[in-house]
Amino acid sequence: DGGITQSPKYLFRKEGQNVTLSCEQNLNHDAMYWYRQDPGQGLRLIYYSQIVNDFQKGDIAEGYSVSREKKESFPLTVTSAQKNPTAFYLCASIPRGGTGYGYTFGSGTRLTVV
Amino acid sequence: AQKVTQAQTEISVVEKEDVTLDCVYETRDTTYYLFWYKQPPSGELVFLIRRNSFDEQNEISGRYSWNFQKSTSSFNFTITASQVVDSAVYFCALRRTNTGFQKLVFGTGTRLLVSP
């Protein structure tokens, strides 16, 4: 079945460490997104990519980096510059031009700083 | 600027009760899309409905119904005869239609607890 796979499901980061969250989709979708979810704050856009080798900053990009070398993959790196990285991270995708069904989301990665 | 407000942080009901989740939005656009998503404990957001701004017909899908009122900028979601499996966080979202980039603006969500 087509969908989005995020891994790992749980991730622990030490202070000053960079970590990378994986997002893979087999839906042949063009656009991919990373959202951060904090309790009581809804979802906020970190980065998005509408095409391979191109990506743009969202509303809260500081301390994060991404790459889009393949259509299927959009990994997110949480760098040591992100001062408060503990959150739930969701990856999403949508075909070029969109559909009537909104985004398709992955099941998320919960990142905790230890 | 666009904004979505879900004033109800958490709602608790007993199974078989009807429950309405409120959503109020702000936008200067004349055309836009509104969405509802369900987030069960597993974490994945599940698409429920999309509504175009030019279509104010209410919609019913099984036990779910949506009331879109452009005059009050509201897009409320009602679950009839709630069930324990309806327990989740529900998000309302807004998206512009006049840009190539399809950013969704989310509300803060409403947690629904349905007890047996």
Quick one: average pLDDT of B37-56?
89
User: What pLDDT does residue B98 have?
Assistant: 57
pLDDT digits (tens, 9 = 90+) for B60-73: 889 999 999 999 99
pLDDT in tens, B10-39: 999 999 999 999 999 999 988 889 999 999
Distance from CA of A103 to the nearest CA of B (A): 7
Enumerate the residues of chain B whose CB falls inside 8 A of the CB of residue A108. 43-44
Supply the pLDDT for residue B55: 82
- pLDDT of A101 higher than 80: no
Cβ <8 Å between B43 and A108: yes
How many angstroms away from the CA of A81 is the closest CA of chain B?
25
Tell me the DSSP string of chain B: --EEE---SEEEEETT--EEE--EEE-S-SSEEEEEEEE-TT---EEEEEEETT----EEETTEEEEEEGGGTEEEEEESS--GGG-EEEEEEEEESSSSS-PEEE---EEEEEE-
User: pLDDT, tens digit, for every residue of A66-90?
Assistant: 999 999 999 999 998 888 999 999 9
Residue with tokens 């069930």: B83
Above 90 in pLDDT, residue A22? yes
